[in-house]
Amino acid sequence: MYKTYFKKVAYTLLLIPLFSSLLTLFVRLFYLCANKYLVIVVLLIAVTLAWFAAKKMLKDKKLVGLIIALSIVSVIYGAVYLGSFNCARCAAPEAGVMQLISNIRAQAELYLNNNNSYVGVCDDSRVIELGNSADKFMRISSSKCFGPITKMFMSSEAVQESHFVCNDSIDEYAAEEYVPSRESYYCVDSTGFGGQVQNSLGSLTKCVAD
């Protein structure tokens, strides 16, 4: 009994790389950027499938040689190719997003010096230009995160959706842009803060620091 159980465990461990590779290929048809939650889900499904497939291997010894060969190929494939299943391709334009949003701080201070108030800074032509450019980089980053099937069903409205937010008042302002590869927002405000936050501004005039 114990011998059969340990064989099943051994076969399961042998099958996990194979199912992980197959599931990853499937996921990449929809999404190219793996976060920790997606990796956990893929591994859990791979372990479950491997466990049930191990039962079949116990009954049919002819499959063992084939599975071993496929698992070796899967390990090599994973080492060489699956490293690209991360957010690097999505992250390429994110430096541009953060730089553009950071530039709003300098523009806002110039606006304050000329107007003695932050009121209207978000309607300043230069701030709008920086926000539009940040949106452009955000869309480039987003498009690199989606697989071919997802792109087929994406509406043009979704692709063009703006995530740039800017709010102002007499004494304060805050501006942010969504960074898809990090699933967070890059935010700057009149206090001098500039960095990533998990929560969007909404209608606030100060970044919601974690």
So where are the chain's domains?
2-86, 93-197
Residue 143's pLDDT is: 67
List per-block mean pLDDT (blocks of 10 residues) for the chain, which spans 210 residues.
Answer: 75 82 82 74 88 78 70 68 59 79 96 96 96 85 72 58 89 91 87 92 88
| pLDDT value of residue 80 | 58
Distance CA 158, CA 145 (A): 14
Using left for φ > 0, alpha for ψ between -120 and 50, and beta otherwise, residue 146 falls in beta
Residue type, 130: L
**Quick check: pTM over 0.75?**
no
Write out the DSSP string of 142-185: HHTTB-HHHHHH--HHHHH----EEEE-SS-EEEEEEEGGGTEE
Please report the beta strands in 11-78, taking only residues with DSSP state E, as ranges in sequence order: none
Give the pLDDT confidence score for residue 87 in this predicted structure.
61
d(C-alpha 101, C-alpha 197), whole Å: 13
User: Are 107 and 181 contacting, i.e. CB atoms less than 8 angstroms apart?
Assistant: no
Cβ distance 137 to 90 under 8 Å?
no
Neighbouring residues of 19: CB distance < 8 A, sequence distance ≥ 6:
45, 46, 49, 50, 53
Rounded Cα–Cα distance for residues 48 and 165 (Å): 43
Confidence at residue 158, expressed as pLDDT on a 0 to 100 scale:
47
